[in-house]
Amino acid sequence: MTLDEKVRKTLAELNVADAQGVEVLFAEVRAAMEAERQDLIACGAASEAERDQLCKALRDRWLARKNGLLSLLDENWLKAAAKELKPAVGRRFNELRKIATGLGFDELVRAVPVRHQASFSAGAVLVTSSPLEKQASFAADAVLAGPPDLTLPGYRRPLGSIHPVTRVMREIEDIFLNLGFAIETGPEVETVYYNFDALNIPESHPARDDWDTLYVDAQTVLRTHTSPVQIRAMEKHGAPLYIIIPGKCYRHDNPDSTHSPMFHQIEGLAIDTDITFADLKGTLDFFAKKFFGEKVRTSFHPSFFPFTEPSGEVAISCVFCDGQGCRICKESGWIEVMGCGMVHPEVLRHGGLDPDRYSGWAFGLGVERYAMMKYDINDIQLFYQSDVRFLEQF
């Protein structure tokens, strides 16, 4: 039986026949009254209008002249009490009326907090459903809501960075752009003619073997070097020609710490009248000092490439041991960094240039190798694994 039902019955109907029973009954009423008041104070109101409405409802529930709980209690418990119980009931009833002054409208309004939704100073705003609509606990009802706090710091979007291979490629490009070279590019899917024939690589050359070249079909390959662009640029621009050719190349290599089926090259080509090997040496020595540091020395050794004659390998004094000999330079003090040579007359002819009038030099280097030397990276595969822990260091 609820309190509301109890106050509509007489003490006799509630089987309360002695002072002790009266005590217990009034204790229950006081507890209910205090609990309802505390609930309202704890929950508060979302606005002053709501607060006033809630306070009036609670006041009326207890103190209304007609059908208020105290009026019903007066009628059914006190007035209808048996003669011998009246003093006890009267005493408890008077106590209750005194306590009930806390349920007056003004008293409640003073006690119940209004939680303004528009309050910025409070940060997050606690909004609860009305305590009279819902009897669930304050904590369980609490939800975070309200307008955004404009004083909070914003979200920081992490910035990406330039890939080390791209970074080194741009660095090399910049050195040659400052020397007056232009950048030239060409297709990665290339014809056999541009990739081999025009570059004086005969069908018998081992580089045309399946193991080195990825064929798309009998006449089409994924270019094995950036050199085909030499021919394309000669055809397009004629001479004089000062270009560098950065780009991707493909070879039938198994991936390991120094090989990758895809890698980057930069090719250099200078064609003019009266170009000599001295121009080649001077330019590449300048480049090596710009890229690796002024202390670096260069050394040229004879070599062979089908598209240059004479051909050479360029070595720099080891940047790790200063030429003293270490594990990286295999105790030699020198590191090979590129291939080079004077453009073969046959290649000039394929490019539509007269080898009796024009001469030129060319070089080719692997960008990954330069990036590995510059950043002391020992595994070429790290460049292609897209591991952010590796890439975010650059």
Binding site for Zn ion (CB under 5 A): 318, 320-321, 326, 329
Min separation Cβ 294 and Zn ion, Å: 18
Min separation Cβ 329 and Zn ion, Å: 3
Candidates 314, 289, 293; CA nearest to 303 is 314
By C-beta, is 157 or 327 nearer to Zn ion?
A: 327
By C-beta, is 193 or 320 nearer to Zn ion?
A: 320
Query: Which alpha helices (DSSP H) does the chain contain, by range?
Result: 3-6, 19-43, 48-63, 69-73, 86-99, 105-111, 138-141, 164-178, 192-195, 228-237, 277-292, 345-350, 367-375, 388-391
**3-state secondary structure (DSSP) of residue 358:** coil
Min separation Cβ 373 and Zn ion, Å: 11
What is the C-alpha to C-alpha distance for residues 335 and 272, in angstroms, rounded to an integer?
A: 30
Q: Which residues contact 246 (CB under 8 A, 6 or more apart)?
A: 169, 172, 173, 183, 185, 226, 264, 265, 266, 267, 367
By C-beta, is 201 or 318 nearer to Zn ion?
A: 318
By C-beta, is 280 or 373 nearer to Zn ion?
A: 373
Beta-ladder partners of 362: 269, 341
By C-beta, is 280 or 319 nearer to Zn ion?
A: 319
Query: Quick one: CA dihedral 364, 368, 374, 379, positive or negative?
Result: negative
By C-beta, is 10 or 299 nearer to Zn ion?
A: 299
Min separation Cβ 321 and Zn ion, Å: 3
What is the β-pairing status of strands 298-305 and 241-250? unpaired
Q: Under a CB-based contact definition with an 8 Å cutoff, are residues 357 and 273 in contact?
A: yes
Residues recorded for the chain: 394
Min separation Cβ 318 and Zn ion, Å: 3
Min separation Cβ 289 and Zn ion, Å: 18
Q: Which residues contact 303 (CB under 8 A, 6 or more apart)?
A: 311, 312, 313, 339, 341
| b/e 301-320 (16+ beta carbons within 10 angstroms → b) | eeeebbbbeebbbbbbbbbe
By C-beta, is 19 or 326 nearer to Zn ion?
A: 326
Query: Quick one: CA dihedral 134, 136, 139, 145, positive or negative?
Result: negative
User: Would you give the end-to-end CA distance of the chain in angstroms?
Assistant: 76
Q: Under a CB-based contact definition with an 8 Å cutoff, are residues 299 and 200 in contact?
A: no
By C-beta, is 42 or 326 nearer to Zn ion?
A: 326
By C-beta, is 229 or 318 nearer to Zn ion?
A: 318
Min separation Cβ 287 and Zn ion, Å: 20
For the record, the structure tokens of 182 come out as: 């232009």
Min separation Cβ 336 and Zn ion, Å: 12
Min separation Cβ 164 and Zn ion, Å: 21
